[in-house]
Structure 1
Amino acid sequence: MNNKAFLTILSLVLFLGLYNPLNAGFDFFRLEKSANPEIDSLLQVANHFYEIDNYDLALQHYNNIVEKSEKENYSKGLTQAYIGYASIYFIQNKLDVSTSYLLKAKEQPYANENPEEMYNISFREGLNLHSLGLYDEAVKKYKESIAASNKITDREDKLNKLVGVYINIGDIFQLKNERDSAFYYYKNAYNSQTTNLNNKFTSSISISELYVENGELDSARKYLGFAKYYAEKLNSDFTDAVLSQINGKYLSANGNFSEAIISYKKSLILNEKLDRSSPALFKLLSEAYHEKGEDKLSNAYLKRYVEVKDSLEEAKKRNLKVPILIANKDNANKIQKAESNTQLVIVSFGGIILLIFLIVYLYVKKQKKKTVTRRNENIQLKKKLNNAFDEVADLAATNSPNFLSRFIEVYPEFYNQLISEYPNLTTADLKLCALMKLDFSTKEIAEISFSSLRTVQNRKYKLRKKFGLETEENINQWIQNIQIQSLVPA
């Protein structure tokens, strides 16, 4: 064998040995560390702060872990820190931020090599979709987490993770008002051999809530007692907040509204401590005060419920990016897997792999160009449909005195319908309606009008009363639906 042939074969052997088709790269260049005692110790500290609900300190430690892990090229540290970020931002209802960190974790080699981490990522993706009410998509992610858990060798850990998924699927059935199915999943979870206290608490408190909804208060009290036992063991603000809320519902169902109010307020304080939005508690408090005949307090909490719900609607616009982020990543993973299998076969034929890289590069470049072109076309189309929108928006943003008169010229149908159906509207009311029609947020309106957020929220609340809107109806969406034809200005 001549030297050239030997070198060619040796190069091919090295190529095959170093090339990793799952991560589409070369392991030689990664040189990842299998363990880093310093960073592993920091992870334990960060996770401890997370478990005791001290999220600020947990975030500080995760930041430190990411910085050190990037310098040390330590994939385990990055994976677990990203999942830690995602867990905290989920609790704070920042679902888009939570999802972005889960996608970062999913890209790490350590995550792909460890079924425990892949379970955590898929499970938390399911939680984010679950929280948005995208139940079918959430179930798909929960099923992915079940598939990942089946690869876990530790039987106890596997069982605890499966039970966690069962509880969440039960919650989806409860939210869909399919109580028999919800009972099935909750009771299977509670009666399992799980050693995870969070699973025991969540399944028992969920069963208790279902019994309250069914009016079976003796059974509700029984499982509420179980939940209290596990909550004491966990000693967590989060579990205490949930326990207090369900305990309040049980007390209300028994007609003990005074104690129910105390329990709701305790839950409210704990949620505020955790920086968690809790509009349902304001509604429950309003209902309890109404039953006691204290209408002034009932109306005050109902007003607060509407305000928080409106701000959550605005936050939901941001969080609606979550399914798009996940879908894009899933599609990319499918493409990557297909390409990797193809590349592994092509590698055996030598340098043809370079051609594949070139094709992929040109394809991605072409797709990006198409995306940019499509976006530009959409922008141009929007400009053609509403060539006066930018002018009116600029007048609004600068708080120009000409704003309202110009808006009326551009949207005459909208203005005429408002004043004909609601003649008691003031000029300030009409200006606020105009800003909402232009899709300015509550925060933006406050900045434009040099007012506080609370002032703008109060003005919106008064407008709701003038329009006679139901509590559940979103005023911003209601304004958008007035005179749909007026979206194309004169």
Structure 2
Amino acid sequence: MIIIKNNKTYSKGLIKIITYTICIGLFLLMTSCNRNSKDKEREEFDDALLTQSSDLQHSGEFEALFRLNIKYLKKAAKMKYNAGKGLCYLNMAGLNVSAGNYEKARFFFNEAEKDLVNSENPYHKATFYDTYSEYYYHLKIYNKAIEYNGKAFYYLNKAKKTKLSNKLLPILYVNKGAYYAHKGWLGTSLKSFTKANMLENSAYTNCMLAQYYLYVRKPDSAGIYIARADEKMLSHKTSDVESLWVYYTMGYYYNEVNNSEEAEKDLKKALEINIKTRRTYSSHIKGVYKSLAELYKKKNDGGKAYFYLKKYMEEEARFDAARFAAMNKSTEDFISEVKKESDWRKNDLPLLIALSISVLTISGVYVRKFINLLKIRKKTLSEERDELKSRVYNRKLEELMELARKNDSSFFLKFKELYPDFIKALLKINPDLENSELAFCAMLKFRFSSKEIADYTFVQHKSVQQKKYRIRKRLNIPGETDLYDFFENLKE
């Protein structure tokens, strides 16, 4: 009986152990499934947010990009996904960098850093340091750009292999190549561009290699990659910004090899795309205008060179002001939308208050800095514009004097176009002056001697002297006044 009782007791204990083991196993399985489900949900969040943000930015869809990040910021709050919030802030930081709004970019970097650098996912750290390195590159602080690019590589090597991590790797190499090129480390730069092209082999990576070879004055090598970039652009679906880069690089290349027709055609295409994307990549449109000005300057077409330099200056002044006003307004709208959400955690309230205060304070400080910078830029560009304007004027003047030497019938007509105020001033003194007398005055303004005028107009020297005497009478010029000085200083 004792044996039977002990057997029953043993059986009950065994059943309990088995039951507990099954329960613990089920709990661990459910926890693991829940964790895997949460990880998958977050990976899908990251992929959707970053892919869509990149597409919208590359197509110049400014407002849609802000709306997307507002949507995902709310979604991250509901998911209690801090790194998701950080990615939204990072997107806005990157947008402000590409648009040149560096003060506001720094603010959003600070917000993104809190959530991404402390993330358990190494990819989040890698993408944060990559975007931060671009910020320092735009500021021309290349040592910092290289430092953060190195950190991005370090964390990406620790990250799980995903579609996003594979996409980020060639970007890191392209950026590394650009940073080292500006430091003068051309060997490292070329290796980085080559590695990026091996990984991605896109229109953009081929363009970067072409840009490198143009930079080191090897147009033959650049031409190989230009052809590949063009082929990739035509055979694959490229974003507007990637196509813009291809056309811009081809224009640069053809200008270097003195194929001005192809250079003009490609730069005009780049300009067309740039008008569409300028709100997210504003620095490009100024570069295209400037390249066109340099192209026409090289072609000795001073008129068009002056036109595009003027467009460059106007675009810089007009669009910079509009860009910052639009971005500040959109950022304020972004903050207002976030404030309306009732599901934000309480400790997010100080962040929102800080956002609001920072928008106001940063805007004021930045505007002052921006105005000072703009003044310096305008002064430099004004000097270049005046130089071009002077060149255009001198060329027209030389053409006009050549018409006078040939006694060309179009001389007086062209003269009136170049010096309308001079003719008005003469007619104000004597409205009855004839065209032949006005043309004679024009030749005196050019300080042609009596002998030169006689030779050019096929008359005797004595006749020219008589005409000078009549002009004095008709214009009431005193005898002691030098005739050439009178016409030189004549104003309406």
TM-score where L is the length of structure 1? 0.52
The residue type paired with residue 294 of structure 1 is D
What is the CA–CA distance in structure 2 between the aligned matches of 1:78 and 1:155, rounded to whole Å?
20
Cα deviation for residue 268 of structure 1 reads: 2.0
Distance 1:219 1:457, change over 3 A: closer
Please give the secondary structure, in 2, of the residue aligned with 1:235.
coil
| 1:47 maps to which of 51, 74, 91 | 51
The residue type paired with residue 208 of structure 2 is S
The residue type paired with residue 283 of structure 2 is S
Please give the secondary structure, in 2, of the residue aligned with 1:107.
helix
Cα deviation for residue 168 of structure 1 reads: 1.3
Cα deviation for residue 180 of structure 1 reads: 3.6
**Contact 1:220–1:250 (CA under 8 A) maintained in structure 2:** yes
Cα deviation for residue 35 of structure 1 reads: 6.3
The corresponding residue for 1:208 is 210
State the aligned residue count. 303
The corresponding residue for 1:217 is 219
**Contact 1:83–1:102 (CA under 8 A) maintained in structure 2:** yes
The residue type paired with residue 461 of structure 1 is S
What is the CA–CA distance in structure 1 between the aligned matches of 2:180 and 2:103, rounded to whole Å?
24
The corresponding residue for 1:115 is 122
Given the alignment of the two structures, is residue 169 of structure 1 paired with residue 170 of structure 2, yes or no? Answer: no
Consecutive unaligned residues in structure 1, runs of 5 or more: 1-32, 318-437, 446-455, 469-490
Please give the secondary structure, in 1, of the residue aligned with 2:140.
coil
Q: How well do the aligned residues superpose, as a CA RMSD in angstroms?
A: 4.4
The corresponding residue for 1:58 is 65
| 2:142 maps to which of 102, 114, 135 | 135
Deviation larger for 171-180 or 285-294: 171-180
The corresponding residue for 1:240 is 243
The residue type paired with residue 223 of structure 2 is R
**Contact 1:251–1:257 (CA under 8 A) maintained in structure 2:** yes
Cα deviation for residue 295 of structure 1 reads: 0.6
What is the CA–CA distance in structure 2 between the aligned matches of 1:255 and 1:457, rounded to whole Å?
30
What is the CA–CA distance in structure 1 between the aligned matches of 2:374 and 2:188, rounded to whole Å?
44
Distance 1:63 1:441, change over 3 A: same
The residue type paired with residue 91 of structure 1 is S
The residue type paired with residue 202 of structure 1 is Y
What is the CA–CA distance in structure 1 between the aligned matches of 2:239 and 2:157, rounded to whole Å?
30
Cα deviation for residue 443 of structure 1 reads: 12
**Contact 2:97–2:138 (CA under 8 A) maintained in structure 1:** no
Which of the pair is proportionally richer in helix?
A: 2
Cα deviation for residue 301 of structure 1 reads: 1.8
| 1:152 maps to which of 138, 156, 159 | 159
The corresponding residue for 2:298 is 291
| 2:276 maps to which of 273, 276, 284 | 273
Cα deviation for residue 240 of structure 1 reads: 0.6
The corresponding residue for 1:420 is none
The corresponding residue for 1:264 is 267
Find the structure with the greater CA-based Rg.
Answer: 2
Please give the secondary structure, in 2, of the residue aligned with 1:80.
helix
Distance 1:457 1:102, change over 3 A: closer
The corresponding residue for 1:379 is none
Deviation larger for 84-93 or 33-42: 33-42
The residue type paired with residue 260 of structure 1 is A
Cα deviation for residue 157 of structure 1 reads: 6.2
**Contact 1:46–1:62 (CA under 8 A) maintained in structure 2:** no
The corresponding residue for 1:231 is 233
Cα deviation for residue 112 of structure 1 reads: 1.4
**Contact 2:83–2:124 (CA under 8 A) maintained in structure 1:** no
**Residues 309-458 of structure 1: pairs in structure 2 closer than 5 A:** 441=371
Percent of pairs identical after alignment?
Answer: 18
TM-score where L is the length of structure 2? 0.52
**Contact 2:146–2:180 (CA under 8 A) maintained in structure 1:** no
| 1:184 maps to which of 184, 191, 202 | 191
Cα deviation for residue 95 of structure 1 reads: 3.0
Distance 1:205 1:187, change over 3 A: same
The residue type paired with residue 195 of structure 2 is N
Cα deviation for residue 41 of structure 1 reads: 6.3
What is the CA–CA distance in structure 2 between the aligned matches of 1:167 and 1:66, rounded to whole Å?
29
**Contact 2:222–2:253 (CA under 8 A) maintained in structure 1:** yes
**Contact 2:125–2:152 (CA under 8 A) maintained in structure 1:** yes
The residue type paired with residue 185 of structure 1 is S
What is the CA–CA distance in structure 2 between the aligned matches of 1:107 and 1:267, rounded to whole Å?
38
Please give the secondary structure, in 1, of the residue aligned with 2:306.
helix
Cα deviation for residue 75 of structure 1 reads: 2.0
What is the CA–CA distance in structure 2 between the aligned matches of 1:118 and 1:299, rounded to whole Å?
47
What is the CA–CA distance in structure 1 between the aligned matches of 2:65 and 2:301, rounded to whole Å?
42
The residue type paired with residue 55 of structure 2 is E
The residue type paired with residue 89 of structure 1 is N
Consecutive unaligned residues in structure 2, runs of 5 or more: 1-36, 325-367, 390-492
The residue type paired with residue 80 of structure 2 is N
What is the CA–CA distance in structure 2 between the aligned matches of 1:181 and 1:443, rounded to whole Å?
33
The corresponding residue for 2:91 is 84
Deviations 1:355-395 (A, max 9, x none): xxxxxxxxxxxxxxxxxxxxxxxxxxxxxxxxxxxxxxxxx
The ranges of structure 1 where at least 4 consecutive aligned residues each deviate by more than 4 angstroms after the TM superposition are 35-43, 155-160, 306-315, 442-445, 456-460, 462-466
The corresponding residue for 1:101 is 108
Please give the secondary structure, in 1, of the residue aligned with 2:258.
coil
**Contact 1:46–1:58 (CA under 8 A) maintained in structure 2:** no
Cα deviation for residue 37 of structure 1 reads: 5.8
**Contact 2:53–2:91 (CA under 8 A) maintained in structure 1:** no
Cα deviation for residue 310 of structure 1 reads: 7.0
Given the alignment of the two structures, is residue 461 of structure 1 paired with residue 382 of structure 2, yes or no? Answer: yes
